[in-house]
Amino acid sequence: MARPNFLLSGNKRALKSMSELIPQYNEDSIKSLDWREHIRLRPGMYIGKLGDGSSVDDGIYVLVKEVVDNSIDEFAMGVGKRIELKVADGEVMVRDYGRGIPLGKVVDVVSKINTGAKYDSKAFQKSVGLNGVGTKAVNALSTYFKVSSFRDGRTKTAEFERGILTKEHKEAATTEPNGTQVVFRPDGTVFKHYHFLHEYLENQVWNYCFLNAGLLIHFNGRNYVSKNGLLDLLTRRTNAESLRYPIIHLKGDDIEVAITHNGDYGEDIYSFVNGQHTTQGGTHQAAFREAFVKTIRDFYKKDYDAADIRQSICAAISVRVQEPVFESQTKTKLGSQYVSEGGPSMKAFVLEFLGKDLDNFLHKNPATADALKKRIEQSERERKELSGIRKLANERAKKANLHNKKLRDCRIHLNDEPPTKGRDEYNQKQLESTIFITEGDSASGSITKSRSVESQAVFSLRGKPLNCYGLTKKVVYENEEFNLLQHALNIEEGMEGLRYNNIVIATDADVDGMHIRLLIMTFFLQFFPDLVRGNHVYILQTPLFRVRNKQKTIYCYTDEERQRAIHELGSKAEITRFKGLGEISPEEFAQFIGDDIRKDPVLLSQDAQIQKLLEYYMGKNTPDRQQFIINNLRVEKDLAEELGVEVEA
C-alpha cells in the first residue's frame, strides 16, 4: 500500500502543519474546579435540565424540592409537623420546625460538598438525599441564598451570592422555635426568563402531603394537609363518577398503594420513593405493574392479558428504601434492585405485599372484585375487536415509511438506554428530547432546518386532523395521520416506550392554527390522557411581531411587548406581523426553539373531568361555547384592525 506523499518525501512542513491541528496537552491543560464552579459549569449534572419553568422537571422546581426535602426528612424523623413555603416575585422561602442545623455547621452544610448528616444512615435511614449535594447546588445556582438555624434559644445565619459567602452573622439569642429557614433567588443568568407556575408548585406540595400523612404545609397563604395518604391522592386525581369501583387503599411496612380503574384509556400510575416523586418510574414501578398482573391472574385463576388488566388503571405506589440508588442526581428514576442491604429484591417485596394484601382485600370485598373483573373483560373485548384492524394499521405504518414521510427524527430519545459513561449528561439530554407537531410543508420545513438534530424531532401533519371527540379507539388505527403519530411517539402499548419527553404542538398564530391545536389536544385527551397528565404536552409560542430598525431587532410575543419595542426603537421602526410559521425564516426560527424556547404547558386541573372538558370545547355548538369563541376571537380582531390585517370570523 502506498504511503502518503509527505511521509515518502520527508516533508517536515506537512508534519508541522498536522501538529498545529492537535490541541496542546500539558500541565496548563489540567484544571481543578471547586464545588461551586463545577455546579455552575455543569448544572445539568445536579438538577437536570434548566428551562424557564414551563416544564415540571425544570431546574427551578428541583431547587425548591432540594430545600423542602430536608424539611420533609425532619418530619420523617418525628420532628417538625409544619413547613412554611412562600414563592413570590421569583424568590423562595422555606421554613421548617425541625431540630435546626447544628449552629457550628450552618455554613459548612450549605457550602462544603459531601458535608451533611445523611451519611450517617442511623440518623437518616430512609432519606431522599444521601450525597450531600442538594442544598449546595441551590446555593451555587442562586444570586441570593440565606440560611438561618434556630436551635435551643440560639440562632446562626449566613448569606451567600452564587455560592460565595458574603456575610456570616454572629451567633445570637432568639425566641424563634427550633428549625431551619432558607431563602433563595434562582440565578437569572442560569435560568433565563424563569417563572414559577403555581400549578406545578401546588402539585409538588400536595405530593408531599399525600406521602406524609399529618404534615401541614402552609403554601402562599393556604394550608395543605392529608389524613389518608395515597387514598387522598387518587381521590383528588380521579373523578368519582367515572370510577368502576371504590379506591383500594393498602398499607404495609415501608409500602403503600392505592388502586382503582376508570373509563379512560391508558395507565395512570404515580410512583414515589422515600417521598420523592419518581416521574420516570424505575424498579418499584415496574415491580408494581408485574405484581399487580400476577396477583389478579392468581385471584381470578385466569391468564388475562397484562394489557387488559392494566387498561384504565389509576394507581399510586410509595416505598421506603434504605439508601436508594437513583439513575441521576435529579432522582426521577429509581435504580435500586433491593429494598435494603441483605433484604428482599424490589420485585419480590412488592409481589409479596400485593399477593397477600390485595388478594385478601378482593376476597373480603366481592362487589369490588366483581367490578374489577368486568372492567378487565371489557378491555379484553375491546382489544379483540381491534386486533384485526390494528394488525392492518401496523402494516400500513411500515409501508408508509414513517421516518421518511412524516417524521424527521432526532438522535436521543426519552427511553433510550443511557451509556455507562456520562450517564447524568445523557439523562439531561433525554429530558430535553422534543417532538414538534406541525401542519404543512412550509412550517415543518422551517423547524426542520433550524432544529437541534440531537434532541429535536419534527412530525408533519397533512391538513387538519379529524375531530375524534366521542369516537372509539378504532379511529386511531383507521386514520392514517393518527396511526402514524402514535407510532412516532411509540405509545401504542402505553407510556413506557414514549420516545420524547416534550410533545410541542406548533401551529400558526391564527384561527386555523388554534383549531388544529384543539384537534390535536382532543386526540391526546381522548385516547392518550396520560401524556397530558404526565406534563408532556405543550403549545409552542412563536413571536407575533418583529420590530426592528437598522441597529436592533426585537421579537415580540404579545402586544404589550410590541408597544415596549416601539417605544425603545422609535415610532418609525419597521413592524412585521407573523401570521404563519412558514413566514419565519429558518435562521430566525432557530432563536425560538433553542435555549430560550417559550412554550405553554397543557395542564389539567386536579378536578378536571376529561369527557366534560372535551364536550364543552369539541361537542355540540352550545351558546356557552359560542360566547367563549367570540370572546377569544375579539382579542385577535381588535389587534388585527389596529394593524390593518384582515382576520376571518
Query: Is the pLDDT assigned to residue 9 strictly greater than 50?
Result: no
What's the CATH number for 400-541+580-618? Answer: 3.40.50.670
CA distances for 188 relative to 142, 144, 552, angstroms: 8, 11, 23
- Interval 240-264 mean pLDDT: 93
| Percent of the chain clearing pLDDT 90 (strictly above) | 48
Integer Cα distance of 109 and 76 in angstroms: 20
Task: Label the pairing between strands 313-319 and 276-277.
Answer: unpaired
3-state secondary structure of 603: coil
Most confidently modeled range among 13-27, 297-311, 392-406, 414-428 = 297-311
For the record, the C-alpha cell of 44 comes out as 445539568
Please tell me which residue, 313 or 638, carries the higher pLDDT value.
Answer: 313
Integer Cα distance of 282 and 288 in angstroms: 10
Please state the φ and ψ torsions of residue 460, each to the nearest 5 degrees.
Answer: -105, 120
CB 271 within 8 A of CB 314: no
Query: Is the pLDDT assigned to residue 635 strictly greater than 50?
Result: no
Query: Is the pLDDT assigned to residue 335 strictly greater than 50?
Result: yes
Instruction: Give one DSSP letter per residue of 431-489, joined into a string.
Output: HH-EEEEEESHHHHHHHHHHS-TTTEEEEEE-SSPP--TT--THHHHHSHHHHHHHHHH
> How confident is residue 157, by pLDDT bands cut at 50, 70 and 90?
very high
CATH topology of domain 44-222: Heat Shock Protein 90 (3.30.565)
Please tell me which residue, 14 or 112, carries the higher pLDDT value.
Answer: 112
For the record, the C-alpha cell of 138 comes out as 441551590
CB atoms within 10 A of CB 342: 7
> How confident is residue 404, by pLDDT bands cut at 50, 70 and 90?
low
Which pLDDT tens digit goes with each residue over 173-226? 999 999 999 999 999 999 988 999 999 999 999 999 999 999 999 999 999 999
- Identify the helix (H) or strand (E) that includes residue 42: none
What's the CATH number for 230-384? Answer: 3.30.230.10
Please tell me which residue, 72 or 14, carries the higher pLDDT value.
Answer: 72
Query: Is the pLDDT assigned to residue 386 strictly greater than 60?
Result: yes
Chain CA centroid to CA 542, Å = 22
pLDDT for res 31: 53
pLDDT for res 27: 58
Query: Is the pLDDT assigned to residue 276 strictly greater than 90?
Result: no
Which pLDDT tens digit goes with each residue over 535-587? 999 999 888 899 999 899 999 988 899 999 999 998 889 999 887 787 788 88
Which pLDDT tens digit goes with each residue over 78-119? 888 999 999 999 999 999 999 999 999 999 999 887 555 554
pLDDT for res 144: 97
- Interval 336-350 mean pLDDT: 90
Least confident piece of the model among 32-46, 281-295, 336-350, 395-409:
395-409
Most confidently modeled range among 152-166, 443-457, 478-492 = 152-166
Please state the φ and ψ torsions of residue 155, each to the nearest 5 degrees.
Answer: -140, 150
The overall average pLDDT reported for the chain is 85
- Interval 358-368 mean pLDDT: 97
What angle (nearest 5°) sits at the alpha carbon of residue 373, between those of residues 372 and 377? 120
Integer Cα distance of 92 and 203 in angstroms: 16
For the record, the C-alpha cell of 180 comes out as 431551619
CA distances for 178 relative to 154, 156, 174, angstroms: 9, 12, 10
Integer Cα distance of 224 and 77 in angstroms: 20
**Where in the chain are the domains?**
44-222, 230-384, 400-541+580-618, 543-577, 623-649
3-state secondary structure 152-188: CCEEEEEEEECCEEEEECCCEECCCCCEEEEEEEECC
pLDDT for res 607: 64
Query: Is the pLDDT assigned to residue 166 strictly greater than 90?
Result: yes
Of 43, 37, 38, 72, nearest to 59 by C-alpha is 43
Please tell me which residue, 279 or 23, carries the higher pLDDT value.
Answer: 279
pLDDT for res 130: 42
Q: Which residues contact 523 (CB under 8 A, 6 or more apart)?
A: 465, 468, 482, 485
The residue type of 389 is I
Least confident piece of the model among 279-288, 312-321, 403-412, 524-533:
403-412
Farthest-apart Cα atoms in the chain, separation:
91
Query: Is the pLDDT assigned to residue 634 strictly greater than 50?
Result: no
> How confident is residue 24, by pLDDT bands cut at 50, 70 and 90?
low
Of 483, 477, 439, 476, nearest to 458 by C-alpha is 439
Bridge partners (DSSP) listed for residue 12: none
CB 219 within 8 A of CB 85: yes
Which pLDDT tens digit goes with each residue over 636-649? 444 444 444 343 33
pLDDT for res 7: 41
- Interval 439-455 mean pLDDT: 87
Query: Is the pLDDT assigned to residue 125 strictly greater than 60?
Result: no
Query: Is the pLDDT assigned to residue 6 strictly greater than 50?
Result: no
Of 315, 302, 237, nearest to 271 by C-alpha is 315
pLDDT for res 418: 82
Integer Cα distance of 635 and 649 in angstroms: 12
For the record, the C-alpha cell of 406 comes out as 412524516
pLDDT for res 270: 93
